[in-house]
A and B are shown apart, each in its own frame.
Chain A
């Protein structure tokens, strides 16, 4: 993590770092509809820095071979790069050993893996799984599938008007049949940073395991799985400046070792006979088939990139920008920000009276501003706030105040267009 010289004003030097960051992203140097691109859809997916793009093309051009098998130079080099990436991810999330890091397609696959492997082994009829009202569909549906399969029950922690979990209600949901608590670290639709350390401790007091969905957290706040003491942590590469199709599942070694494989195939076995097959040790046990080798290596580069700027710096930059954005658009007539917790990442979800989010998004797009309009794969949460959709501007390391000013100007145009 980069350290700032103490003699310099923090804000100024941070501005300096961030001004350079923008040049690392070739996609940001383009225009759309004749306007410079202002990319504010980072919660959906982030753009890629040149270093990640270079890593991917270099690997395919010069270092490509399958991993863990070939007794030849290229395969050994590829295997080393792939395992180096696992080590980088381990370091990034503070796991104690890289055996606890499983490469998966993304957060969704990670959650499905835990639901089907851990869930089917350890949960039984009448057991309870606790999720929250602010979950992304990817942290709802895998548990519903599991509940149908084993006749378990899903319980839901409600959200208050500011978009925070109601912990008293959570306490009441915990009981002797609670086996698993699965919740998002940061809400994709509200930006709320949940008090996960406390939530985990409360679950552990009831002997329940906890899975954190870190898809919206990993690029914005430092993660330390040992400090959090979570049992599983899932995140995606493409939301932290890495490639699509790759993500990681962290699980405590003793849990992963006891879990059955999620998929069968090559790479995940020790010995196969028609009578009996024995499985490889973790993490290979959960990586059947040829993995997304280049994706993992690209993810390793993305993690390097984040670390070179520093998660603390990124967090500070995004917080300052969030404050500026909240002030700038917050007092537009008819605008209601949904998700007003003081503990938020740079997500600004809002409802603008009289204009549907899709129409806002179309007008903004014509001003070069990319935002997300819709239910953000969180339909129960939308219902909670009485809307079917919101417009969401989500910030990242490369955004700046000028982006927010452009957003404000574009929203003014949308209001004028619909005569509001």
Chain B
């Protein structure tokens, strides 16, 4: 049996109760809402991506379970200062982390996000962990579309 402590690691409980980068941006370059219709969890991600494709600012607001809130909070920490390409790599790495066995190289890249490795043993909670990441994908995809029109 998977220990609950493997799912709710201290870092996760801390971030869920004290989310970092919680708030909104007035003029984001990218924004998306994420919604899990099964449980009603809802988050909004706001990003500011500069001309070099670097995420210079990223915040979120919303409400949901400890896993989804901590995941959003840690996502914002991990992505600040990263390029869009690096963000995409992290998205795929995170997805691998919570659904199957990621390679050692992927795990290394994920750094602090590895605290979510325990989610894999709780299939009903995978969507909670990935909500913020799917929201990020939506925000960045829209941004890409807009970028092509420039």
Q: Which residues of A contact B (CB under 8 A)?
A: 33-34, 354-359, 362-363, 366, 373-375, 379, 382, 388-389, 417-419
Contacts and interface: CB of A to CB of B under 8 A. Distances in A.
A373 B36 CA distance: 13
A388 B40 contact: yes
Contact of A389 (B8, B13, B39, B67): B39
Given A356-B65, A359-B65, A382 B40 contact: yes
Contact of B1 (A33, A357, A358, A417): A33
B66 A418 contact: yes
Nearest to B66: A359
Contacts of A382: 40
Contact of A374 (B7, B17, B40, B63): B40
B63 A388 contact: yes
Contacts of B42: 388
Contacts of A373: 39
Most buried by B among A34, A362, A363, A374: A362
Contact of B13 (A33, A366, A374, A418): A418
B1 A388 contact: no
A374 B66 contact: no
A366 B7 CA distance: 12
Q: Tell me whether chain A's interface is mostly helix, strand or loop, or mixed.
A: mixed
A379 B40 contact: yes
Given A379-B40, A388-B42, A358 B13 contact: no
Contacts of B15: none
Contacts of B39: 357-358, 373-375, 388-389
A356 B4 contact: no
Given A374-B39, A389-B39, A389-B40, A358 B65 contact: yes
Contacts of A366: 1, 4
Contacts of B128: 358
Interface in B94-134: 122, 124-125, 128
25 contacts: A33-B1, A356-B69, A357-B39, A357-B65, A358-B41, A358-B64, A358-B65, A358-B125, A359-B65, A362-B4, A362-B122, A362-B124, A362-B125, A363-B4, A366-B4, A374-B40, A375-B40, A382-B40, A388-B39, A388-B41, A388-B42, A388-B64, A389-B40, A417-B8, A418-B17
Contact of B38 (A356, A363, A374): A374
Contacts of A419: 13
A411 to B, nearest CB: 14
Interface size class for chain B?
A: 20 to 34
Contacts of A374: 38-40
Interface in B1-59: 1, 4, 7-8, 13, 17, 38-42
A413 to B, nearest CB: 9
Nearest to A32: B1
Contacts of A417: 4, 8
A356 B66 contact: yes
Nearest to A376: B40
Nearest to B122: A362
Nearest to B69: A356
Most buried by B among A33, A358, A362, A382: A358
* 4 tightest A-B CB contacts, nearest first: A356-B65, A358-B65, A388-B40, A375-B40
B7 A362 contact: yes
A366 B67 CA distance: 16
A202 to B, nearest CB: 33
Contacts of A354: 17
Contacts of A355: 66
B116 to A, nearest CB: 14
Contacts of B69: 356
Given A356-B69, A358-B125, A362-B122, 19 more contacts: A33-B1, A357-B65, A358-B39, A358-B65, A358-B66, A358-B67, A359-B67, A362-B4, A366-B1, A373-B39, A374-B39, A375-B39, A375-B40, A388-B39, A388-B64, A389-B39, A417-B4, A417-B8, A418-B66
A149 to B, nearest CB: 24
A77 B51 CA distance: 77
Contacts of B41: 358, 388
A35 to B, nearest CB: 9
A418 B67 CA distance: 12
A355 B13 CA distance: 10
A355 B8 CA distance: 12
Contacts of B8: 359, 417-418
B45 to A, nearest CB: 18
A165 B65 CA distance: 30
B115 to A, nearest CB: 16
